[in-house]
Amino acid sequence: MSKLLKPEGYQPLLDLQQTELAIKKIKDFFLSNLSSELRLRRVTAPLFVLKGLGLNDDLSGVERPVTFPIKDLGDAEAEIVHSLAKWKRNTLAEYGIKPGFGIITDMNAVRADEELDNIHSIYVDQWDWERTITREDRSLAFLKDIVRRIYAAIQRTEYYMGEMYPQLKAYLPEEIHFIHSEELRRMYPGMTAKQREDAICEAYGAVFIIGIGGKLGDGSVHDLRAPDYDDWSTPNTDGFEGLNGDLLIWYPVLRRSIELSSMGIRVDATALERQLAIQGKEERRKFFFHRRLLDGELPLSIGGGIGQSRLCMTLLQKAHIGETQSSIWPEDMRRECREARIALI
């Protein structure tokens, strides 16, 4: 049986042809806004990288990359990217991007281990961005400022789409609420992390949860994070740990929270050493990316990914991510979608 949520009385507000046009409007408008807001320039990104360089991201640390041999490289194995967090930071160094400026790219990935439902697909498309920062920028205040700028770009895009299609009524709140994952745990004792996300997002509408990846007061983690891109262990000015987090909204169509972006200030050499030790992955120090970082050859940076299909889904008020991207779905899910008037592309 599929894990499909079927909103009662669901009726798409845009038909298939309108949806395809609207997707392009969202992608063009949001990309232009975000690039201007954060001073990002477009770069070309890889679909795959060589295995063993440490450039691919392993997300929570358990997802298997899709791999294939390359004939002309002696069957050396390549991996389809999961995301580009480490590749982007290496690119900042290669291009000599100065503090206050950054890069943005269209990232396409295949995540074969994804559990498929209304918002999860094996095909992942996102805007991956990275910006060079100074040592002084490695602070909670700077992180919050960048989050507010990203949220403002999302709000402007929501307003623009409402002007283009009046049937799309705005629902995002004016302000985004910040809370640390440990504060959230204390606020909702006895709940799972997902239940806590739903509760806080329903209360505030838009939330940034700080410090995802580090241990909470009860020994658990809000969500798993790899040790070598986001900094989830450095003490911050709120008295907790972590300079990263997730941006989530309350999505009225599905009556649940949805993550639109995972981002953060990236590890410096000290945080990398600490987080590798915490997760028992010190062997990664020998990889190309990690050696460059530990040797001081990579700039300090902040970065993240913003889901393209998810943003389109939520701004067009669709019930399934398959209404804003083309992917593979279980046959029983396709059947249920047809019965629920959910038109998968």
Task: Note the pLDDT of residue 54.
Answer: 67
Count how many domains the chain has.
1
State the catalytic residue, choosing from 57, 125, 137, 228: 57
Domain membership flag for residue 4: no
Asked whether residue 232 is assigned to any structural domain, the reply reads yes
Catalytic residue among 89, 111, 131, 266: 111
Exactly one of 35, 121, 126, 308 is catalytic; name it: 126
**Marked catalytic residue, from 233, 257, 262, 275:** 262
Non-local (6+) Cβ contacts of 148 within 8 A are: 176
| 83 included as an active-site residue | no
Look at the block and give the residue holding tokens 């402007």: 156
Is there a catalytic annotation at residue 262?
Answer: yes
H or E, element range at 337: helix 331-339
β-bridge pairing 177-180 and 206-210: parallel
In percent, the amount of the chain with pLDDT more than 70 equals 97
User: Quick one: DSSP state of residue 116?
Assistant: P
The domain in which residue 118 lies consists of 16-339
Per annotation, catalytic residue among 77, 202, 259, 336: 259
Q: How confident is the model at residue 316 (pLDDT cuts 50, 70, 90)?
A: very high
Q: What is the pTM of this model?
A: 0.92
Q: Is residue 6 part of a domain?
A: no
Average pLDDT, the chain: 92
pLDDT value, residue 216: 93
**211 inside domain:** yes
- 77 inside domain: yes
- Does residue 1 carry a pLDDT above 60? no
Output the domain CATH number for residue 302.
3.30.930.10
Query: Residue 256 pairs with which residues in a beta bridge?
Result: 251
228 is catalytic: no
How confident is the model at residue 310, as a pLDDT?
A: 95
Give domain status of residue 3, yes or no: no
- Is the residue at 220 inside a domain? yes
126 carries an active-site annotation: yes
DSSP per-residue letters across 293-312: HHTT-S--EEEEEEEHHHHH
Catalytic status, residue 17: no
pLDDT tens string 226-281: 899 999 999 998 889 999 999 999 999 999 999 999 999 999 999 999 999 999 99
308-315 and 16-38 are packed helices; what angle lies between their axes, rounded to 10 degrees? 120
Strand order in the sheet with 67-70: 48-50, 76-80, 67-70
Set 246, 257, 310, 323: catalytic member: 246
- Cβ neighbours of residue 203 under 8 Å, at least 6 residues apart? none
| Residue 7 falls inside a structural domain | no
Catalytic (active site) residue 256 = no
